Amino acid sequence: MSTLKDQLRTDLTTAMKARDEVRSSTLRMILTAVTNAEVAGKVAKELTDDEVLTVLAAEAKKRREAAVAFEEGERPESAAKERAEAAVIQDYLPEQLGPEEIAAIVTAAVEQAGAAGAGPKAMGQVMGIVQPQVKGRADGAAVAAEVRRQLG
């Protein structure tokens, strides 16, 4: 059993007892997403902590994108709700990397791959080196943008 999943269940019980509506509804949604991921595919399986983190990152990204869409649609109350849910999810994700840290990791990966000056065609090779290092700790779009910038 995933310790992160146990933590989510325990926190859900605590939030329900405290009558924290936002936290309890968000944790219910997360646990549902985890359960859906477990039964997806041909064989049901128990998710590892890393796989649960992947689900959490996807859910957080959905909330951020929905908040932006609600802002653009001039629905600030819905955007605020999505941001509150994203904040709850963020509590369970590892500390996010800043732009400088992402740049340093990408620079090291470009050197390791020998891709300096290779241009965009080396992007896949560099991303293959960077992804395992930043998984769950950085937005994939931000990482890809930095790789593109450094490869020129």
Query: Can you give the pLDDT of all 152 residues of the chain as single tens digits?
Result: 568 899 999 999 999 999 999 999 999 999 999 999 889 878 888 888 888 888 888 898 899 999 999 999 999 999 999 999 999 998 888 888 888 888 888 888 888 877 676 677 778 888 888 888 887 788 778 888 888 888 77
Spell out the residues 6+ positions from residue 102 whose beta carbon is closer than 8 angstroms to its own: 134, 138, 142, 143, 146
Task: Please report the domains of the chain, with CATH numbers, ordered by start residue.
Answer: 3-90 (1.10.1510.10), 99-151 (1.10.10.410)
Please tell me the predicted confidence (pLDDT) of residue 1. Answer: 54
Please tell me the predicted confidence (pLDDT) of residue 150. Answer: 80
**Measured at the alpha carbon of residue 120, what is the angle toward residues 53 and 134, in degrees to the nearest 5?**
20
